[in-house]
Amino acid sequence: MSDPALVAAVLAAGSGSRFGGLKQLAELEGRPLLARVIAALDGFAARQVVVVGAEAERVEPLVAELGWTAVPAPDWERGQGASLRAGLAAAPEASRALVALADLPWLRREAVERVLATAAAEPPEVEVVRPFEGEVPGHPLLLRGPALELARSAPDEGLRAFLRDHRTAAVECSGLGVARDVDLPSDLGKDAPAAGRGEYDRSHG
């Protein structure tokens, strides 16, 4: 059952410059990376948004097909913080937020469940819940309380420095894909189609 006070936001606005194209639409085992991330998060939150930016018209059809809402970040080029602001602005009523990145195709639903269960068990003073692969921090982040309100006006560079100032609960999620991201086609174990041409890239045939 979805949580009416929770928003799930996937940040998918980047141009994939290092990857060579829109990695959101590149495929792993026949499914776009973004679709795999959405599948891991789907159904937990009442409000489910994907923040789009670069070539948004190519990403939005997939978002709509999967039943999520595309939210534009007009200033996405300023940094990840701009995408985060756009995603959270789409759910001003939310008191908790799950934030994930679009390039984590190995993310498992079990990781999301662990983050949410830890948040429910921790006192309100714990404002951030974050999964870890060993000592490596990952996503999705859960933000609440003052941390969430500050994230609504996150700096362009994102939350890295911001997170150091807030009480955080770490959740062990080794093997659940929380920190295994995709930067290059070789990260997918093959020469992936850099532009993500395939079933979901309808605007380009």
| pLDDT tens column, 123-172 | 999 999 999 999 999 999 999 999 999 999 988 888 777 777 778 999 99
**158 close to 80: Cβ distance less than 8 angstroms:** yes
CB proximity list for 141: less than 8 A, separation 6 or greater: 97, 98, 99, 100, 128, 129, 130, 159, 163
Q: Dihedral, CA atoms, 49, 187, 78, 37, nearest 10 degrees?
A: 10
How far apart (Å, rounded) are the C-alpha atoms in residues 114 and 123? 16
How far apart (Å, rounded) are the C-alpha atoms in residues 13 and 200? 17
How far apart (Å, rounded) are the C-alpha atoms in residues 106 and 161? 26
Residue at token pair 């086609």: 185
Give residue 1's pLDDT band: very low, low, confident or very high (50, 70, 90): low
CATH number of the domain encompassing residue 183: 3.90.550.10
Q: What does the mean pLDDT of the chain come to?
A: 89
- pLDDT tens profile 60-115: 999 999 999 999 999 998 989 999 999 999 999 999 999 999 999 999 999 999 99
How far apart (Å, rounded) are the C-alpha atoms in residues 114 and 95? 19
The DSSP bridge pattern shows strands 96-101 and 3-12 to be parallel
Domain limits for position 125: 3-204
Nearest CA-CA partner of 173 in 136, 131, 128: 131
Would the pLDDT of 55 be above 80? yes
* Domain count of the fold of the chain: 1
